[in-house]
Amino acid sequence: MARWWQLLLGLWTVMPTWAGDELLNICMNAKHHKRKPSPEDKLYEECIPWKGNACCTAETSWEAHLDVSPLYNFSRIHCGLLMPGCQKHFIQATCFYECSPNLGPWIQPAAWSGQGERVVDVPLCREDCEEWWEDCRWSYTCKSNWQGGWDWSQGKNRCPAKARCLPFPHYFPTPADLCEKVWSNSFKASPERRHSGRCLQKWFQPAQGNPNVAVARLFANPAPSWELSYTLMAFSLFLSILS
């Protein structure tokens, strides 16, 4: 029996390591992010879900809630006040972006100045995009890409010349358009639903735990078929020994 245990231990010793673990529980190198995630007991309102492990500070969480946020000197009210539900979604999305330590698999170098890194194609759950779009249908904007192309001549973003303030569906005909275009492909509209384990939620109930931890691990470590076969072979050997 001792010889079998030694053989099994040898199999597990040479099992492939999870290279993607370095993408887990990290903060992007960006303007307002901390270097490492850590607890933040005083996060504000919509940022509270991340208080147990956050890439944002309490000050950042407060500034995320302001109509004209000093985070990027950006005004969400460039076409007047957003409807309350719409405003809430944008605040939640900002908290998600600034506070989440589960965005590692989607971090890339930023193309524009002022930020070292950004995220690209973070797969938001289908309901997140649908509810965001539905709650913003009666709010107004003048652009589909909020990441650039604004008139900054007076120190904060204003609509470009000849850009018309129209209801969101004019610039974002579908929920996917809103999720993917508004922040220049930071997010991607996933066909997967919440609790599928294959998409991220931009907000969640803190008491139920952070569902994005497991999703980030899945995307950081997509097991190739040979790794899965190797694991199954070792497990089968283990069961045969026990029997």
Task: Tell me which of 133 and 9 has the higher pLDDT.
Answer: 133
According to DSSP, residue 6 is labeled H
HSE (side-chain half, CA atoms, 13 Å) at 75: 17
Is 241 inside a domain boundary? no
Phi, psi at 54, each rounded to 5°: -130, 150
Provide the domain count of the chain: 1
Q: Where are the alpha helices (DSSP H) in the chain?
A: 2-13, 58-63, 84-99, 126-135, 168-171, 175-181, 212-220, 225-242
Say what the pLDDT of residue 5 is.
40
Task: Tell me which of 84 and 112 has the higher pLDDT.
Answer: 84
Instruction: Reply yes or no on whether the pLDDT at 13 is more than 70.
Output: no
Q: How confident is the model over 106-162, as pLDDT tens digits? A: 999 987 655 689 999 999 999 999 999 999 999 999 999 998 899 999 888 999 999
Range of the domain at 93: 22-147+164-222
226-235 mean pLDDT: 49
State the pLDDT confidence band at 21, using cuts at 50, 70 and 90: confident
Say what the pLDDT of residue 86 is.
98
Is 111 inside a domain boundary? yes
Is 97 inside a domain boundary? yes
**126 vs 73, 77, 130, 132, 183, CA distance in Å?**
30, 26, 6, 10, 17
- 98/103 Cα distance (integer angstroms): 10
State the pLDDT confidence band at 69, using cuts at 50, 70 and 90: confident
88-113 mean pLDDT: 92
- 66/74 Cα distance (integer angstroms): 10
Instruction: Reply yes or no on whether the pLDDT at 239 is more than 60.
Output: no
The label of the residue with tokens 């170098």 reads 109
Is 43 inside a domain boundary? yes
Say what the pLDDT of residue 73 is.
87
State the pLDDT confidence band at 240, using cuts at 50, 70 and 90: low
Task: Tell me which of 173 and 30 has the higher pLDDT.
Answer: 173
Say what the pLDDT of residue 11 is.
43
- 1/8 Cα distance (integer angstroms): 11
The one-letter amino acid code at 129 reads C
Q: Is 165 helix (H, G, I), strand (E, B) or coil?
A: coil
- 23/150 Cα distance (integer angstroms): 33
Task: Tell me which of 31 and 126 has the higher pLDDT.
Answer: 126
Instruction: Reply yes or no on whether the pLDDT at 233 is more than 70.
Output: no
- 238/214 Cα distance (integer angstroms): 26
Show Cβ contacts of residue 234 under 8 Å, excluding neighbours closer than 6 positions: 8, 11, 12, 15
Instruction: Reply yes or no on whether the pLDDT at 206 is more than 60.
Output: yes
Is 142 inside a domain boundary? yes
Evaluate whether 65 touches 131 at the Cβ level (below 8 Å). no
Cα 73 → chain centroid = 21
Is 74 inside a domain boundary? yes
The label of the residue with tokens 């973070």 reads 122
Q: Where are the alpha helices (DSSP H) in 26-123?
A: 58-63, 84-99
Q: 47: closest CA among 30, 61, 37? A: 61
Phi, psi at 104, each rounded to 5°: -50, -45
Is 230 inside a domain boundary? no
Say what the pLDDT of residue 151 is.
95
First-to-final CA distance of the chain: 12
Q: How confident is the model over 41-68, as pLDDT tens digits? A: 999 999 999 999 999 999 999 999 998 8
- Give the chain's mean pLDDT: 87
State the pLDDT confidence band at 225, using cuts at 50, 70 and 90: very low
